[in-house]
Structure 1
Amino acid sequence: MSDFARDRRLLDALAELSVEAGRAILDVYEGGSIEARAKDDRSPVTDADERAEAILIAGLDKLMPGVPVIAEEASSRDGVRSDAPPAFLLVDPLDGTREFLAKNGEFTVNIGYVENGEPVLGCVFAPALGALWIGSIALGAKAARAGLREIPSSDAYQPIAARHAADAALCAVASRSHSDPTTEEFLSTLNVASRRSAGSSLKFCLVAEGEADVYPRFGPTMEWDTAAGHAVLAAAGGAVLKPDGSPFGYGKAEDGFRNGPFVAWGARG
């Protein structure tokens, strides 16, 4: 099977699976008060995180049997694996739990597929917004808006592309919940004409759609936070790099799959 045919099949299946997980999240989100518990790292977790992850892991085991799945809640509960396979899946069942608790809609389901340290395919779904982004290096990137619990039809998708922005008129997007002085210092070195804030992996998607030009992140993240959005952005013609411009890779088992700082850029050159 060619990469083109494989990716089309996988992206369609990941879209369906992410919407299924999104329905479980919305059941909790729309059901009244939400109970949050603190994990060992003091980050919050809810029933929605755990229900969505169970759906995703079961679905991925059927879709891509034998491909290891590194998922946030399982890693928190059982420990992070000590090795990085050549190919593996990174899953964040509910990225932006703080946004979920604030009920502002800016949370996502993230599924990223990594080969040889590079996120080559990804799916990002925002259940409360009815928005879905998918992309691969072979196929490019596209986005769809549909009902909150609906799988988008094939004609609902539109191709997306990161834009070539003039250095003198950049739009920067930054975290709504995790601002820090180093990020602000970095942004001060750029010719930023406007700024936006967003939660979760939506920031990658804004750059991928050409709604923003740069998203710096110097605070702590995990690989499952970023792989799906990184894949969509790369498929749209953008890039995620270390602040010094070197490649930003995945499979950092020696660091517990923790990310260092990065900058997500729109189309450059």
Structure 2
Amino acid sequence: MMNILEKAALEAGRAILDIHARGAQVMFKADCSPVTEADRTAETIILSHLADAFADIPVIAEESVAAGRIPDIGAGRFFLVDPLDGTKEFIARNGDFTVNIALIEAGVPVAGVVYAPACGRAYSAAGTGAEKLEVTAGFTVASRTAIGVRPCPTEPVALVSRSHNSPETLAFLDGKGIAARRVVGSSLKFCLLAEGAADVYPRFSRTMEWDTAAGDAILRIAGGTVTDIEGAPLCYGKPGFANPFFIATGGLPA
């Protein structure tokens, strides 16, 4: 399965970069969020791969949901797909946008792929292993490195959203005395925690399940946690697919 998910993500990323190079027209959905040809093209590619290989597993994908196409997921397995997470970063022409594909079982993200095509790297996790992948200009995997969270240092590093920061997030960090902060877009924040490059990512603004599921899977498998503000693990498959506010963390204090 992971080979197919990675292949789908890389192919979608190639299409995204092609559109990025020539420029994309920006449109707006009913909720006033931006969408581009890259979002829709990437989703078509991913859905095709998933349908060919896993026709029996329903897919919840961002642009399909926006168009009213929402399959019944029941209580079984399903995929969550965000074909272009960080559309605002894509429009701004910086590298903080990703392709996200996750597998959910009983509300838990058990496998995920996050690909940052502009950065030439991807993250993949399933079972008990999480990896960082270096991706070539020809969209092949050049190397794989096992990753894991780091013990939280005396002076932890926080990650905050580039486009969706909030006063509540800053208040949380101030209350915890966390001064070191790094601004990053998209699901890359989960991946940086997973590889031990930072320690906490609080999110006190709106997200949807497809925004977080793949990164959440990678972080959990790498040894981190993603919980709501009451400390309960984030769950998936909720009516409406909206997340509560959450706190993603790397390793425990040494």
Same-fold call, TM > 0.5? yes
TM-score, normalised by the number of residues in structure 1: 0.90
Q: In structure 2, what is the Cα distance between the partners aligned to 1:128 and 1:211?
A: 19
- Aligned counterpart for 1:265 among listed residues 241, 249, 254: 249
- The answer as to 2:182 corresponding to 1:196 is yes
- Aligned counterpart for 1:152 among listed residues 134, 141, 145: 141
Following TM superposition, by how much is the alpha carbon of 1:27 offset from its aligned partner in structure 2, in angstroms?
A: 1.1
- Aligned counterpart for 2:93 among listed residues 83, 103, 110: 103
Q: Which residue of 1 aligns with 2:4?
A: 13
Instruction: Specify the code of the residue in structure 2 equivalent to 1:266.
Output: G
Following TM superposition, by how much is the alpha carbon of 1:84 offset from its aligned partner in structure 2, in angstroms?
A: 4.5
Residues 171 and 213 in structure 1, CA contact (< 8 A), matched pair in contact too? yes
- The answer as to 2:27 corresponding to 1:43 is no
Q: Which residue of 1 aligns with 2:210?
A: 224
* 2:67 aligned counterpart, secondary structure: helix
Q: In structure 1, what is the Cα distance between the partners aligned to 2:199 and 2:137?
A: 28
Q: Which residue of 2 aligns with 1:183?
A: 169
Q: Which residue of 1 aligns with 2:222?
A: 236
Following TM superposition, by how much is the alpha carbon of 1:83 offset from its aligned partner in structure 2, in angstroms?
A: 5.5
Q: In structure 1, what is the Cα distance between the partners aligned to 2:163 and 2:36?
A: 18
* 1:263 aligned counterpart, secondary structure: strand
Instruction: Specify the code of the residue in structure 2 equivalent to 1:30.
Output: A
Q: In structure 2, what is the Cα distance between the partners aligned to 1:267 and 1:28?
A: 38
Q: In structure 2, what is the Cα distance between the partners aligned to 1:49 and 1:80?
A: 17
Please, which runs of 5 or more residues in structure 2 have no aligned partner? Answer: none
Q: In structure 2, what is the Cα distance between the partners aligned to 1:268 and 1:79?
A: 41
| Cα pair distance change 1:124/1:75, threshold 3 Å | same
Residues 207 and 233 in structure 1, CA contact (< 8 A), matched pair in contact too? yes
Residues 173 and 179 in structure 2, CA contact (< 8 A), matched pair in contact too? no
* 2:183 aligned counterpart, secondary structure: strand
In the TM superposition, what are the counterparts of 1:73-92 in structure 2 within 5 Å?
73-80=63-70, 84-92=74-82
Q: In structure 1, what is the Cα distance between the partners aligned to 2:76 and 2:26?
A: 35
Q: In structure 1, what is the Cα distance between the partners aligned to 2:44 and 2:135?
A: 24
Instruction: Specify the code of the residue in structure 2 equivalent to 1:220.
Output: R
Following TM superposition, by how much is the alpha carbon of 1:58 offset from its aligned partner in structure 2, in angstroms?
A: 0.8
Following TM superposition, by how much is the alpha carbon of 1:192 offset from its aligned partner in structure 2, in angstroms?
A: 1.6
Q: How many residues align?
A: 253
Map Cα deviations across residues 88-121 of structure 1 (whole Å, 9 max, x no partner).
0000000000000011011000001000000000
Residues 99 and 106 in structure 1, CA contact (< 8 A), matched pair in contact too? yes
TM-score, normalised by the number of residues in structure 2: 0.96
Following TM superposition, by how much is the alpha carbon of 1:194 offset from its aligned partner in structure 2, in angstroms?
A: 1.2
In the TM superposition, what are the counterparts of 1:50-65 in structure 2 within 5 Å?
50-65=40-55
Following TM superposition, by how much is the alpha carbon of 1:139 offset from its aligned partner in structure 2, in angstroms?
A: 3.2
* 1:29 aligned counterpart, secondary structure: helix
Identical-residue share of aligned pairs (%) = 46
Residues 19 and 149 in structure 1, CA contact (< 8 A), matched pair in contact too? no
Residues 4 and 49 in structure 2, CA contact (< 8 A), matched pair in contact too? no
Residues 114 and 121 in structure 1, CA contact (< 8 A), matched pair in contact too? yes
Instruction: Specify the code of the residue in structure 1 equivalent to 2:202.
Output: P
Greater shift after overlay, 144-153 or 43-52?
A: 144-153
Please, which runs of 5 or more residues in structure 1 have no aligned partner? Answer: 1-9
